[in-house]
Amino acid sequence: MMIRLRLLGIPLERDEGEYAYAGQLMLQGIPPYKLAYNMKFPGTYGAYALIMALLGQTVVAIHLGLLFVNAATIILIFLLGRRLVGTQPGIVSAAAYAVLSLSPSVLGLAGHATHFVVLPALAGLLLLTGSPRSYGVTRLFASGICFGLAVLMKQPAVFFAFFGATYLVFQAIRYGWTSKQILSGILVFTSGAISLLAITCLLLWRVGVFGDFWFWTIDYARQYGALIPVAQAPRIFIDSLREVIGVNWVIWALAGFGAVAGVWEERTRAATLFSIGLLFFATLALLPGFYFRYHYFVLILPAISLLAGIAGSILAGLIAKRSIALQALVAVMFAAVLVWPIIAQRTCLIESSPLSVSSMIYPEGPFTESLKIAKYVRAHTSPEDTIAVLGSEPQIYFYAQRHSATGYIYTYGLM
């Protein structure tokens, strides 16, 4: 948290700029897809609008909102780990997620939609991980709403909803539910998941932008997702995964150990299978389009973190009856595993200024320059003027507080 606080002023990158600009427009009463076109569902736009309504329309406010989202996610990881295995594994899992989600290797300092997907998805899972005997209509509907909110943040989150439904059925069968009870539970869960999307569609239709919403998020998104040949997907995935793991390899190795050893040990088998299932469905959420951009991998970090926590539980069990000195040594080793990635990235995370960090992470991105450009534009235009950015830098519209002369805020398709 201290590192995030220190770097609250890091300039927005272009995805953040898109969300901030769309959120700014919403605060002005302008609905999504009216003055800014993009293929994402509007949930993250709404999240940014809420953050800015509460904290202000500044870079610091946006990243403070991200800090709160990240902190809430860490708490949910702890609660999930504690419920699945125990308090100690929950702590290790939460610490692992805090480190992994901060890493520049997943662009963790930027408020990407993936952060806003993970939070409600984990809340939905937490509601499902209790005993099915405690499942009621309210609980199942609330879990469905959480998954529906995750999908509103970004469409691939639907795979988290599929995992939630699969886990619900598995638990119901395990505890002897009848077919009628299972069907009823799935209907309640699905109703919750669909309700938010249905309400969103109704609101967009009411303000006259449903046609644009459908075109960009369904029709255009389908074409965009078909650009990369399937044959190229394995190479792109491996290259991206290598970069994502990077200096965090120690935590990933710990998670790998947890995945293997956790299945063999009866005490952790159920939690391990749950985490592997979560990892599988989260990986499916990476697949659409085969782009495998670094920040997409935030989606699989909860599963990796839970598996790391399971590894910690197994190792703790192995040394439980050993000497205090050995237990202390293992505890120090665990701490070192979690701290090492931060030390390895200290130049970026600890030593450099926010502007320098932006240049390190995005050496080819004009994100620090966007601040000066927007300042100039704002000084030489009136609030009623519209401007056009010949490129894909929507953060300039947000900084300058000027409307775009066109809804096409990205030009990737022309390059």
* Residue 42 placed within a domain: yes
Please count the structural domains in the chain: 1
> How many Cα neighbours within 13 Å face the side chain of 215?
8
Mean pLDDT, contiguous 10-residue spans, the chain (415 residues):
94 98 98 96 98 98 98 98 94 97 98 99 95 84 98 98 96 90 95 97 98 96 93 97 97 96 94 98 97 98 98 84 70 85 95 96 95 97 96 96 95 71
> How many Cα neighbours within 13 Å face the side chain of 340?
14
pTM: 0.96
* Residue 411 placed within a domain: no
Bridge-based pairing state of the strands 403-404 and 386-387:
parallel
* Residue 324 placed within a domain: yes
* Residue 414 placed within a domain: no
* Residue 106 placed within a domain: yes
* Residue 52 placed within a domain: yes
What DSSP state is assigned to residue 268? Answer: H
Q: Which two tokens stand for residue 298?
A: 């935030």
Instruction: Give the per-residue pLDDT at 252.
Output: 98
* Residue 316 placed within a domain: yes
Instruction: Give the per-residue pLDDT at 326.
Output: 67
* Residue 109 placed within a domain: yes
Instruction: Give the per-residue pLDDT at 269.
Output: 96
Residue-range definition of the domain harbouring residue 270? 2-365
- Alpha helices for 28-58 (secondary structure H): 43-55
Contact present, 221 and 155 (Cβ < 8 Å):
yes
